[in-house]
Amino acid sequence: MSHSEQLQELLQRVAALEAREKALSAASNAYQAIITTMLGNMEKTERDRIIAMIDQAHEIAYARAIQRSNEPQKQKIKQADDVAQRMFMFAQGKAAQPR
- For residue 97, being part of any structural domain is answered with no
Q: What mean pLDDT, rounded, does the chain reach?
A: 91
pLDDT of residue 24: 92
Phi-psi region of 43 (alpha: psi -120 to 50; beta: other; left: phi over 0): beta
**96 domain residue, yes or no:** no
Is 65 within the bounds of a domain? yes
- Helices 3-40 and 44-67, interaxial angle, to 10°? 140
Contacts of residue 38, Cβ cutoff 8 Å, sequence gap at least 6: none
Which domain, by its residues, includes 67? 1-90
3-state helix, strand, coil in the chain (%, to 5): 85, 0, 15
Judge whether 33 lies within some domain: yes
Find the Cα–Cα–Cα–Cα dihedral 43, 49, 53, 58, rounded to 10°. Answer: 70
Q: What is the pLDDT of residue 94?
A: 79
pLDDT at 18 over 70: yes
State yes or no: pLDDT of 69 exceeds 80.
yes
What's the mean pLDDT in 67-79? 95
pTM exceeds 0.85: no
34 or 93: which leads in pLDDT: 34
pLDDT tens, 32-66? 999 999 999 999 999 999 999 999 999 999 999 99
Q: How far apart are CA 68 and CA 33, in angstroms?
A: 33
Q: How many domains does the chain have?
A: 1
